[in-house]
Structure 1
């Protein structure tokens, strides 16, 4: 009996590779670094273009720092974390950290970003109420994940958010998949091995956030967290450490 049979879980399929542009949309600085960065490193190594869009600047994320100081700090950390895995474009939508509301405004902002960057693959974070049915998710993650799934369709419909065309953002119906990271129902995966060291560097760029979160050495914390998460998926991906996604074709 192999590891896959012992785990009792279905194997993860390789992620599609016939695309050139991806847009990752999440709520906060560090959201992508906690799970997607190794996959992003592999994609950019392969010549693909990946852009990050963050709904907030994470200004409510560090208890010991007020929002006016925290927001610019976390923006700098996010840009450094993105650069570590080959991402040069990081946009911020300037919704308020901690109180993002799912609704028309958020859908419009994300649809505008999709029209602007014209991706074939859209990546977001777990939009469900819990992490694995045991840990409650944050309202920001739920709102942004759900709005991203919806905005992938909104972006291609010229009769939704007609004001965007007046701003020069013509409809983009080229999104072929939305990939949800952190899902407890993953279907596909990317080999995390080649990009793991850069993923650690990417998460480690959020040093101020990590130092506010744990007393553990930041580098030890980042490497342990990402390595453990990737290795946990190996039995479902041919023994290879992996970054998993729930893939929604469009």
Structure 2
């Protein structure tokens, strides 16, 4: 079944957005340009990072026990570059994420605390054309986020141990879904996106090549959408309840 036509609320009606992703840097690859457009418009954006990215990196001599602190610090710096100052780290183990009841509860708690009108997450559906965006942790974190989006966070009788008041988000955005139905022109924020990505220094052996590739990719996305030359765009699947 194909996804419905996108019908997002105007940004002028959105006060808060919550982003839920599996790893530090996931949002910067997939949606940081859009996040920067939201914060520039005065929207308050929060990040919820499910794992600490313990399995990332390329330095064989680094003490792996250091990685959670390193990656939290990198993500905090990256967030600042796109105007995000509120981060919620859940502390799950990189490479071992499953859409458990506990994870749905933890994400629901963050939703009820932040009370966003829009939730941005990854895709719970695998993309066979770009398998690297469908890391098992991405799929699992996204599935848990979607379950929290509907129905858990808004159901006052779900997770009665939570003390936070139930909250209906109303609008779900997904990155890297196989059937995108919406895009955001990020031409004015592409440099912020690339600066945010560069903040994850522990993950990039050749940062110049990486950033050049990212710039090329999002330029190609814009071209495929019929945008003018020298434009950049990020694509999403938007579902509105």
Normalised TM-score (structure 2): 0.89
Match of residue 245, structure 1, among 195, 216, 236: 236
CA displacement, residues 20-39 of structure 1 (integer Å, 9 cap, x when unaligned): 11000001001011121111
Moved more, 130-139 or 61-70: 130-139
Match of residue 124, structure 2, among 119, 124, 127: 127
- Runs of 4+ more than 4 Å apart: 11-15, 133-136
Q: Which runs of 5+ in 1 are unaligned?
A: 1-10
Q: Secondary structure at the match of 2:19?
A: strand
**Inter-CA distance 238–12: structure 2 relative to 1 (3 Å threshold):** farther
Using the TM superposition, give the Cα deviation of residue 242 of structure 1 relative to its aligned residue in structure 2, in angstroms: 0.8
CA displacement, residues 47-86 of structure 1 (integer Å, 9 cap, x when unaligned): 0000000001111112524431111111111000000000
**Inter-CA distance 81–152: structure 2 relative to 1 (3 Å threshold):** same
**Inter-CA distance 50–180: structure 2 relative to 1 (3 Å threshold):** same
CA displacement, residues 185-233 of structure 1 (integer Å, 9 cap, x when unaligned): 111111110100010100000011112xxxx3x13422x2332222122
CA distance in 2, matches of 1:133, 1:35: 12
Aligned to 1:69: 66
Using the TM superposition, give the Cα deviation of residue 156 of structure 1 relative to its aligned residue in structure 2, in angstroms: 0.6
Using the TM superposition, give the Cα deviation of residue 140 of structure 1 relative to its aligned residue in structure 2, in angstroms: 0.6
CA displacement, residues 102-136 of structure 1 (integer Å, 9 cap, x when unaligned): 11011001001100100000000122233536558
Correspondence 1:93-172 to 2 at 5 A:
93-132=90-129, 137-153=134-150, 154-165=152-163, 169-172=164-167
Q: Is the 8 A contact 2:6 2:237 kept in 1?
A: no
Normalised TM-score (structure 1): 0.86
Match of residue 92, structure 1, among 85, 89, 99: 89
Aligned to 1:236: 225
Q: Secondary structure at the match of 2:84?
A: coil
Q: Which runs of 5+ in 2 are unaligned?
A: none
Aligned to 1:5: none
Correspondence 1:39-54 to 2 at 5 A:
39-54=34-49
Please report the RMSD computed on the Cα atoms of aligned residues, expressed in angstroms: 2.0
Q: Is the 8 A contact 1:13 1:187 kept in 2?
A: no
Q: Is the 8 A contact 1:132 1:183 kept in 2?
A: no
CA distance in 1, matches of 2:173, 2:233: 14
